[in-house]
Amino acid sequence: MVDAAEHTMRVRRDGELLATVPVTAGARKTPTYNGRMVITEMLEVTRMNGRTVGFGGEYDIPDVPHAIRLTGSGTFLHGNYWADTGVFGGSNVSHGCVGLRDVKGGGADTPAGWFFDRSLVGDVVEVVNSQDRTVAPDNGLGGWNMNWTKWKAGTAVK
């Protein structure tokens, strides 16, 4: 579970706490969605360009390591080597993604590499205490955020 206010991610497997990892989440003007998001894609390295998600030319990073897709609209949990290391566990500075400390090229011994190596497509990442709304059910596999009555009524496909 990512707690955007505490700047931490608690990683659990079968209910057991494996680690508490410092993170940076979305900044005040570009907060991270709250809610449960399902990992749908895992990329060792990818390019992230703000133009593809409505941020104009604010960023274009050709080699983002350990990129884990959480929504169809472009929310990722990913390695970050370009931010000051003090932001991890201390402040939220991203454009809506969840960032973990990493090194250029991606390091297996970094928090991002550690998490990437222990994750699978289909795992659920929950974000709490962000200033944004709950992720929409049709933005990725966000149906986890619907109540059972709405799910049964078929609103997930409308």
For residue range 44-79, list pLDDT tens digits in order. Answer: 999 999 788 778 888 889 999 999 999 999 999 999
Where are the chain's structural domains? 2-157
Which token pair is 2?
A: 């990512």
Q: How far apart are CA 80 and CA 101, in angstroms?
A: 5
DSSP 3-state of 112: helix
Per-residue model confidence (pLDDT) at position 148: 83
Q: Is the pLDDT of residue 155 over 70?
A: no
- The count of other CB atoms within 10 Å of the CB of residue 129 is 14
Rounded to the nearest integer, the mean pLDDT of the chain is: 93
Does the annotation mark 7 as catalytic?
Answer: no
Q: How far apart are CA 43 and CA 134, in angstroms?
A: 25
Q: What's the pTM value of the predicted model, to 2 decimals? A: 0.91
Does the annotation mark 95 as catalytic?
Answer: no
Is residue 49 within 8 Å of residue 74, measured between CB atoms? no
**Residue of 7, 66, 78, 95 with catalytic role:** 78
Q: Give the CATH superfamily of 2-157.
A: L,D-transpeptidase catalytic domain-like (2.40.440.10)
**Residue of 7, 66, 95, 97 with catalytic role:** 97
Per-residue model confidence (pLDDT) at position 54: 77
